Amino acid sequence: MAADNSKAVEVKEPEFEFVEVPEKDIFGKPFDGVSVNLEKFGPGKHKVTPALAVEIRRLLLIRQAADLRIFQPTQDVHAMGIMARNYGGQQMQKYNS
């Protein structure tokens, strides 16, 4: 019988990660941070557990996506132009109000 010389290698997950919360939002205004379970993470670098780091990054992405929606038009300008040409400007007023 051959001796088993292989050793099990245990890989440890990191005990903490650094997450950076921006000081300003995309509009240049001060960013107030995010809250997770009533714990506030303001602007700056934070040393947190990996699970908490994932949640903070997720909340930051959600906030960024919400801010970017402000820049997107609520109506399709190209489609509205086509409708205005096809139906005349008179009837389009009821769609715009």
Residue 95: band (very low, low, confident or very high) from pLDDT cuts 50, 70, 90: low
Q: 48-57: per-residue pLDDT in tens?
A: 999 999 999 9
Establish if 81 belongs to a structural domain.
Answer: yes
7: in domain = no
Neighbours of 76 (CB within 10 A): 10
Q: Which pLDDT belongs to residue 82? A: 80
Question: How far lies 21's CA from each of 37, 63, 64, in Å?
Answer: 17, 11, 12
How wide is the angle at C-alpha 13 spanned by C-alphas 12 and 16, nearest 5°?
A: 130
Write out pLDDT tens, residues 22-47: 999 888 999 999 999 999 999 999 99
Q: Domain for residue 9, yes or no?
A: no
Number of independent structural domains in the chain? 1
Domain holding 62, by residue range, is 17-96
